[in-house]
Structure 1
Amino acid sequence: MPRNVTSLDPFQVGIELYLMSIDEINELRQTISIMAFLEVTWKDRFLVWEPFEYSNITSINVKVKDIWTPDIVLESTLDKQTALIETCGNAIISSDGSVIVWPYGRYTVACKIFVGQYPFDEQTCLFDFLSWTYPSSKLVLRSTSTEITKEHYQENGEWTLTRGKVVIERRPYGDYAWDHVTFTFELQRKTLFVVMNIMLPIICTAFLNTFCFILPSDSGERITLCISLFLTLAVFMTIVNGALPESSDEVSKFGLYLGLQLIGSGLSIIATVLSLYCFHESDHRPVRVCIQLFVKSMCIQKGYQMHQQHANIEVNANTFGSEIMDTIDERRKINKCLSNKSKAIHHVPQITWKMVSCALDRFCFIATIVWQIVLLSVLLAVLIS
């Protein structure tokens, strides 16, 4: 039966939470769901009896619908806002008027997810219980514990519960104040899965961009390699963004790193196209002075020319060798030709477009290595700090 609660005699209602498991943390919806049961206690002076008058019975088990219950609700829940104490449940009543009920279920509330440090992020989620219609002058909420009881808790595979604390506070609302019992969950993401299956593949794929400038230009596979790496990074970026909330309030540091790597991969494609264009350019077209200075600054001229001269000598030697007819005159011709070609090494020919292509590849190779090291160092410093 209902009871009138006067301001002179407020009800004292105790709430304890026994956590069973963290069921789900949905980053996209920004919600947290737990399995837990509450222990709600209070004293009803209208339910007091003398045990010796009733065969020494000190406690009874009755239906909740047959007694008065406080209208305790969970704030910020995504479910229907109803009283947590269901009328179809049971309550244990002691002879001194003490009443205990244990509501059990899956509780889901909104929880702001901060993804700036993903996947090394820490989250704080609140489960706030209050009376829906009774202010503090009529109903006082309390909790005897300061930490969430984890006696029945089963560890979550994705999140670690670092701490669970209980906060009791009184908040003003209009002309009245309302008691709140807040259970705070401090959670830390377990990073092993994300590091092994997302971070390491992305970092390795990004470093492969440096090898695009080592692959010979005449191999015909440079553009294919660059585009394949670009598409791979784009797929990983889709996976990472799909696991994070669509919010503009905060940007994930790791997502920013991945975006910069995608931009770097696109620039690598452009640099590779320019390098191949220079490689296949006609040697009859003159090279500008500024480009020649760039080639010299990359230390390409001397090494490239000596390599080309040795290659020409070997080709000519093989050609002459195939035509040897075991005659003394022909052997002398070959020796004379090799001598003339060796002297040509000391001659410094004009800079060609193939040398420009080689210089561009060397510059991009060095720049890409520096780019990868700087980005990775900044990422680790930001995430781990």
Structure 2
Amino acid sequence: MSEYPGVKTVRFPDGLIWKPDILLYNSADERFDATFHTNVLVNSSGHCQYLPPGIFKSSCYIDVRWFPFDVQQCKLKFGSWSYGGWSLDLQMQEADISGYIPNGEWDLVGIPGKRSEKFYECCKEPYPDVTFTVTIRRRTLYYGLNLLIPCVLISALALLVFLLPADSGEKISLGITVLLSLTVFMLLVAEIMPATSDSVPLIAQYFASTMIIVGLSVVVTVIVLQYHHHDPDGGKMPKWTRVILLNWCAWFLRMKRPGEDKVRPACQHKQRQRRCSLASVEMSAVAGPPTTNGNLLYIGFRGLDGVHCAPTP
């Protein structure tokens, strides 16, 4: 200090001063050490400071099950390659993220650190290491506007297939168009996702199930059109078809066939209730509107004769 007044720090090339061999254990870089070698700062007390910048590439496990609402964690494990805990010790400090530049796809949640020691069979001394867990969360605005909302709207169009009249020729065309649109969105998701079989993304499961439902709706539409345009001279409807459509499907859809409700006549009097008895009900088949299949029979009531009402005691 007496020979060089005002000089507090001296810079030396990193090759002239010993420095610890701190490396990233789970590095995916082809050079393994991706740090840029800079000068070492040495002050008057002998304290050395070495701050090499670098771009680290690490191998991380990616879980895309909840895509695009997923949170990813990548661990960066640093430690000495050849020095044990008796020769070199590592002290952990909190990561400084004040200089972080926001990303349009990911949000940085935090970088917590943890110091640990590991023992190997070859040596008695421990080998300390510091592991930083980089936690990032995907931003869902882009995927919600470009994938989720269009898919929900297109899936809702599949319900309109059953609202179109049977004589309309656009029932099958609408169902196939919806199915092709979902296929395009499925291909877009497949291009974004990494090629992994560990977990199936939630959005891919949604697209697959929606495509199955839309495909079944197209099949049902074809069956409905087949029976609607049935040739009257082609024969009667099979018995199993009648059971499925008129019994099972009608019960499931809470529908009733024409003439299924029983006639329940009642006689009312202003002063007192009367007991009514139905003597006879004459029913006859009346002509209904012409149909294309000729398999329906329209039943109507022509009259109620012999209805007698007796007062109740």
Which TM-score bucket, shorter chain as reference?
A: 0.7 to 0.9
Higher strand share: 1
Matches within 5 A, 1:311-326: none
The residue that corresponds to 1:139 in the other structure is 88
Quick check: which one's helix share is greater? 1
| Equivalent residue, structure 2, for 1:217 | 166
1:151 to 2:71 alignment: no
Whether the aligned pair in 2 keeps the contact of 1:278 and 1:354 (CA below 8 Å) is no
Contact 2:77 2:132 in 1 (8 A): yes
Q: What amino acid is the match of 2:28?
A: L
Within the alignment, does 1:124 sit opposite 2:82 as a pair?
no
1:229-244 matches, cutoff 5 A: 229-244=178-193
CA contact (8 A) 1:136 1:179 kept: yes
Distance 1:254 1:206, change over 3 A: same
Counterparts of residues 201-212 of structure 1 (less than 5 Å)? 201-212=150-161
Structure 1 distance, partners of 2:71, 2:34, is 29
The match for 1:78 among 22, 28, 37 is 28
Instruction: Quote the offset at 1:237 in angstroms.
Output: 0.9
Counterpart contact for 1:279–1:354, Cα < 8 Å: no
Q: Which of 259, 277, 281 is equivalent to 2:208?
A: 259
1:129–1:182 Cα contact (<8 Å) kept: yes
- Following superposition, the deviation at residue 282 of structure 1 comes to 0.6
Query: Do the aligned partners of 1:130 and 1:179 also contact (CA within 8 Å) in 2?
Result: yes
- Report 1:275-294 matches (<5 A): 275-284=224-233, 285-292=235-242, 294=245
SS in 2 for 1:179: strand
Q: Is the 8 A contact 2:27 2:58 kept in 1?
A: yes
- Asked if the contact 1:230–1:262 (Cα under 8 Å) also holds between the matched residues in 2, the reply is yes
Q: Compute the displacement of 1:126 (Å).
A: 1.0
- Distance in 2 (alpha carbons) for counterparts of 1:348 and 1:283: 15
Sort the Cα spacing of 1:170 and 1:295 in 2 relative to 1 into closer, same or farther, 3 A.
same
Equivalence for 2:120: 173
How far the C-alpha of 1:353 sits from its partner, in A, is 3.8
Residue matched to 2:304: none
CA displacement at 1:162 relative to structure 2: 1.7
Offset at 1:259?
A: 0.7
1:290 is displaced (CA, Å) by: 4.6
Deviation readout 1:289-335 (Å, 9 max, x if unpaired): 454452472647549xxxxxxxxxxxxxxxxxxxxxxxxxxxxxxxx
The percentage of aligned residue pairs carrying the same residue is 29
Number of residues of Structure 1 aligned to a counterpart in Structure 2? 263
Change (3 A) 1:286 1:82: closer
1:383 corresponds to: none
Q: Give the 3 Å change call, closer, same or farther, for CA 194–135 of structure 1 in structure 2.
A: same
Question: Take 1:278 and 1:249, find their aligned partners in 2: how far apart are those partners?
Answer: 46
Task: Summarize deviations over 1:256-295 as a string: whole Å, max 9, x none.
Answer: 1111111112112211221221122112321234544524
The change in CA–CA distance for 1:69 and 1:84 in structure 2 (over 3 A counts) is: farther
Q: Name the structure 2 match of 1:368.
A: none
After superposition, the CA RMSD in angstroms is 2.7
- For 1:364-379, list aligned pairs within 5 A: none
Unmatched runs of 5 consecutive residues or more in structure 1: 1-50, 304-343, 357-385
Moved segments of 4+, more than 3 Å? 52-56, 81-87, 288-293, 298-303, 344-356
- Checking the alignment, whether the CA contact within 8 Å between 2:111 and 2:135 is kept in structure 1 is yes
- Stretches of structure 2 that go unaligned for 5 or more consecutive residues are 260-283, 297-313
Output the CA distance in 2 between the equivalents of 1:82 and 1:256: 38
Q: Map Cα deviations across residues 173-197 of structure 1 (whole Å, 9 max, x no partner).
A: 3333321111111221111111111
Give 1:54 shift.
Answer: 4.3
